[in-house]
Structure 1
Amino acid sequence: MNPLRLFWGWKPRKIECFRAPNQSVKQLPILEKRKIQAEVLGPVFREMVEQVGSEKAASILKEAIRKAAIEEGKHFREKADASLSTMDQFVELMELWKAGGALEMEVLQQSDTRFDFNVNRCRYAEMYREMGLQEIGHLLSCNRDGSFCEGFDPKLKLVRKQTLIEGADFCTFRYTLDSENKDKNL
């Protein structure tokens, strides 16, 4: 018998951490997830800069985020609607990144092998600036985009020549799917 129960009449109870009703972290809008991650990683990054210097700290953060994005891409691919083409599965995911007005984008081209668009407003970039994390915002979010493709489908490639967070007027996103075996799902 538990000695605390004898002495104080204490009974073990299940303790639950606070969480919004019926909402897991996976259900949060991606913008909110990135904010939570930035609140943790910002101070960690600053400490790494003090310990190992800014170049090494940025390299460590970049590689950690890259690996996480690849795994996230694999996870999303496993959950994707198998009846859709690879590019349609990917395009469908854009709604997650746009949720809550996080991105204002202009689609330029969409086909089975291409998805080209520009982002004219990015609340991710705005959020990092407001948090004083502009110097690593591209590592925390922009860096994920191409790496996510590696996990989602290695034949899916991103070319991006400019971003808002780095001072451009808009972000360029040019996704291509290698046309060889394009309809085969991995």
Structure 2
Amino acid sequence: MADPTPDDVTPADATSAPPRMEDDRRPITLLQQRGIEAEVLIPFIRRLEAEMGRERAHAVAREVIEEIARQQGRHVSEALGRTDIEGFTHVKESWGGAGGDLTIQTLRQDGEQLDFNVVGCRFAEMYRRMGAEDLGFILSCQRDFSLSEGYSTDLHLERTQTIMQGAPYCDFRYRLARQTDVSEDARAAEATEANGDTPPDGKRD
């Protein structure tokens, strides 16, 4: 999902002429961007699956996409000039304002916690239409963890379920490191389910 970069805004000089509009093009939405990426990445990953097997192909794709998301998180914090949890709400707000592509219910948003549920996700619908429901988690959901890590090594995401994996909603719970330990178990469980494997305890939700 989510890897917005705040735009650099330079106030116009009061004596300068009004900016000239080159055309009426508007920035693409995050959903459109993911769709463009998917048109290239899906056939590429399918080819990797044929060449090296599904498990290894997905692992390679995850590693690359997570590193990209980590870099994007760093760019966001640098642009904002902050690494606190309140600053990260700008990322969440950009998701909610992405043309209705995500429907977000905010539960708590302050200097200590950022809790919200995503109850509607057009990203999941898009990947299903593209016949890549099994790749949607890798291409979109998995990067959320790395994005927060790139934004701040003290900011950690706990999430136990996603719409992409068949749940009724995605539960995003952000905490600072001093308030919670890294939830590697939840992250690993999500990745396991995304790969279609059986969790270590042998149970499935």
TM-score range for the pair, normalised by the shorter chain length: 0.7 to 0.9
SS of the counterpart of 1:165?
Answer: helix
| Whole-angstrom distance in 1 between the partners of 2:30 and 2:70 | 16
Structure 1 residue 94: deviation in Å?
A: 1.7
Q: Per-residue displacement from partner, 1:28-80 (whole Å, max 9, x unpaired)?
A: 32111111111110000110011001000000001111100000001111111
Query: What's the C-alpha RMSD, in Å, of the aligned pairs?
Result: 1.9
| Whole-angstrom distance in 1 between the partners of 2:46 and 2:25 | 31
* Counterpart residue type for residue 69 of structure 1: A
TM-score by length of 1: 0.79
| Whole-angstrom distance in 2 between the partners of 1:72 and 1:97 | 15
Q: How many residues align?
A: 157
Aligned pairs for 1:125-164 (under 5 A) are 125-164=124-163
* Counterpart residue type for residue 154 of structure 1: T
Q: Per-residue displacement from partner, 1:122-152 (whole Å, max 9, x unpaired)?
A: 1111111111111010001110101001110
| Whole-angstrom distance in 2 between the partners of 1:154 and 1:23 | 37
Between structure 1 and structure 2, the one with the greater Rg is: 1
Distance 1:78 1:58, change over 3 A: same
Report if the CA contact (8 A) 1:29-1:100 is conserved.
Answer: yes
More helix by share: 1
Structure 1 residue 97: deviation in Å?
A: 2.1
Structure 1 residue 117: deviation in Å?
A: 0.7
Give ranges in structure 1 of 5+ residues lacking alignment: 1-19, 181-186
* Counterpart residue type for residue 118 of structure 2: V
Give ranges in structure 2 of 5+ residues lacking alignment: 1-21, 180-205
Residue equivalent to 1:4 = none
Identity of matched residues, %: 39
